[in-house]
Structure 1
């Protein structure tokens, strides 16, 4: 395979073809001088030319296939090679083709001029002249032979041999032979005494003489040219008259023989050349075509050779570039001459050397950065606060383990993603994203925000703090968010604060109320019957007012104590629909004046709750809704339950709706704070107690206005399939 590849590439095929073509041209030039040699060498030359053509085609096909394969594979330098080959072929073919066309025309006209009509006519006239001269001589010799035959008519057999010899000498013939009719020799005479047997005519000539008459012809005998004359002779045979046949051989003069042969040979060669005129034309055309093909092939091979020399450094550069792209910065290319490609190769080597040095420096810096990053990760993983680091485009770059636990997210799904995508991946964190995003846009140095979330585990309060990461120019390169879960802390602080309030109320307010009430009742009992009617009426109204207000203050203090103290929650599985239905039945009746409607969802899952606390919640909300509808013509209260799904959190939604005037817009954010109320009567603790009950059960509560009028309280309670968090903590 290597030998075939070497044979069809390089300079060896060109040299081989050149040698074969020179041999073919030499044989062709030699054969044109000899028609017999031309006919003998025609097959060999045809085979040789066919072999040359096959090798040419093989070279061209191999080169073209190799070039096309490299072009399709996008091999380095393939396109440049193709352009160079095309350019060289065009530059070579154009002048060679012009020369080829002119050469073909010149040869065709030259060969035609060789076979001019005047030359052919002159040769034919010369041959005709020779023939006419020879015919006259032959006629003359025929007449002389007939005369000699007449002299032998009366010669007896005894003197026949002597007479024959005398006649031969007299006529100058080379040989004279007298034959009987049956072809037997009667007498013979020759100028060569060593010739024993005379040259006899063949049977065809004898038959011709017997039947037709005298024969005269030009015959070659022993490479000598003779004029053969055969005539019938009447003579004495056995004492009577009989018939003989006389043959006379006259030698042709040597000079005449040579001239005749020369003319004949020249004419024969001319005829042979004239016969081979078209093959000669074809042969010369084939020769010129071979020269043309050799020139084109040489140009193509020169193009390939030059392209390989030019492309070799380009291929090395491409290989070096791929190595550098793959990270091998120690790649070096062998340097070549001092031309432009050599300068390019040296520049590449210098560049890779510098890149290798820079890569080593970058690798060391990267290792240091990785070690620092690992150290930072170790520190962040041990923090009890959640930490999230964002870049300038608000993409999450770092998030520690506590942040993952607080937010209940997947670290891998969140890293390198926009911060806003946190809300898309986890809809339960929409409030978290919405609360923090404005701080990023404001560009403040430090900020603080408390965020309340609701998830499958219930209500969660996060205290978030953030700051901007500045760069050297004072611009922002990112943001750091640090947050803690303060749900339990807030609950504990609230319980402790209201517990302290309850204790102070007990000491400061509740204890004096009983003596005040007793004193008022004692005054009423002692002096009411002893006073005049007018004064008694005043005393009755005053003491009655004191007792009523003391009872109201006792109720307020008791309500406040109920809100402040944290009773033990007794959780049990219950059906919320059943509990709501039982409470609603207490408010149905013809004397209520308010239409109470219900829309309870079917197949509502059970929840774990304290039934007593939830009944208190429903009573408080129904009471508030009925009191808010005092001035409405057709008051309607609607209670709805539904099972909702938000991400992976299933929860029950309990709604209390009325068609009253709704909540004042300025109080919507403070509805559940103590002492916030829109009624002229009441303590303002009803909704605060409701919120406390909801939070004890891990739920969330909110108030909203309805369109076109009315208000609604919405409670969301988690569906707990296992034990509650408080039971687990207990």
Structure 2
């Protein structure tokens, strides 16, 4: 940078005394100045950015470096700006003083005077040419030469030429008569003469002002229109008179001298501005060099002073971050070097102590990992709450039991978990009651049953029954253990309904037969003994009694079948053959809703009780027909579809029944297999309960869901998955090898 500065100063000094050298190298000097200034700005900006980053990162010694840089920068910048300001004013005013404003004004006045003189001469010649044209209007073309010669002598002109309207030469007088091709006026000049009657202009002055140009004597040319004499034919074209008069040599030399002086003055004025810019640019570059040197010295000296402190600060940061490796030692004999060595010894002692602590922590982590593994694999949910009800920690079992994303709400109150606001309030109340009674009664925990997500009488698609147990933990924390007892409650309901069904079947069935027999005997005894109206009433009443007794018997039989369902005798059963046998009762002549079958011929035999599986198929087909019949009118009823499918692994066989009914509401789906849960107005709600009970006897998985189509419920689907026996015998196949249509 110092070498570039010296070169620039040398070139500037040479350019001051040699303007040609300055003009040739001005662009290069200016570009080099800008490049050097830009590089200096980039370096200074980069160094300032590094200092700012170190300061933002909180590195030790950053503030010291900033202060040193600021001090040195001020030491270099403030005097530099002062010198720069004084030098700027000196250069600007010194160069401006080289050029006098009065001289420039005098040159402008001389130019204006010369232009005014030329304008006066041209106007005078134009007026003379206009008068001469009127005089020449009476002169015929034959005598025009003599008249032109007299006119030239009278006006003191050098040439006089008479032109026709189409630019043809008629006559001439003066020196131009010796020229073969005298300059003829242009069409534009002739058109202007027709309008203004006369035209005058200066010719040859620019050529005379050009150095090395042709030696042409400047002159004034005037062009005037010459009207035709009165005896000429009407509409004939006018003639044009051209007069050339040389300018006075004194006027020409004075005008050229003033013009040349003004041109040179303007060139020097332009050079003055460039010279001023070059001086100012050089001063600016020197200012940047001073700033750069000041900042560079600040950084270098700051590093020398702060290096031992930075080494110590880096070691402190490593220790604070837990890195106890040996730290660098500053190789110096002063106090700072001794401090770094003492710090290295202390770090080694901390490392030895840390190794002992880490061994203890590893043992503690292993015990904690074992406890966490046990907790994560518990089926029960475990939650830790603080005194305000906020969730401190959970295990995966809590999410499964509560059917809510409690893990995503750690650190937030339990009441903010969607759907658990009432549960959180009840748990909080239980803990408060427990803490108030624990000291008095010596209790160590509390226990309570809850029904979650229940709506409309406790029925919901995601309803869950849980038992919660709470206890206190150290640190004002609370332990909450949750167990899902939904399956137990469902089994208890099923067992209760079985007991109800057994008692109803015993209590109701006995009186039904005497009631039916008494009604039929009453009808036999009174037959033919009553008038027609009374006999009709009697017949209608007896028929009603008999029909209702039959309905009660069917209801009692369903309760009896549910309560006394015998244990399944599992034997290999061909499910395809069993379905085909049952479908014979659902032909078009027997069923209002047609049934279509799609049986997979690859299905292996399953372990099952043929009689109970036949009852399952009947119940599912009847429910599907009832649901489909309630959605449309015959004969446009869509068929009920029954399918069998073998899994990809070949180890299970699925039985699927689909209908086109209204499907199930969400609150019914969860408890559809419980007794007395039904969507039919005349149903008992035992059909699907029997299916579920038989599926449990067979170890089959049963699923119930709605079929969706175009965003709407298109019907319901019940599927049962049975384990195969391993016998790969295929069931009957239809004509196409895949389906067996039943109707």
Name the TM-score, length of structure 1 as normaliser.
0.40
Q: Which has the larger radius of gyration?
A: 1
**Bigger relative CO (Cα 8 Å, ≥ 6 apart):** 2
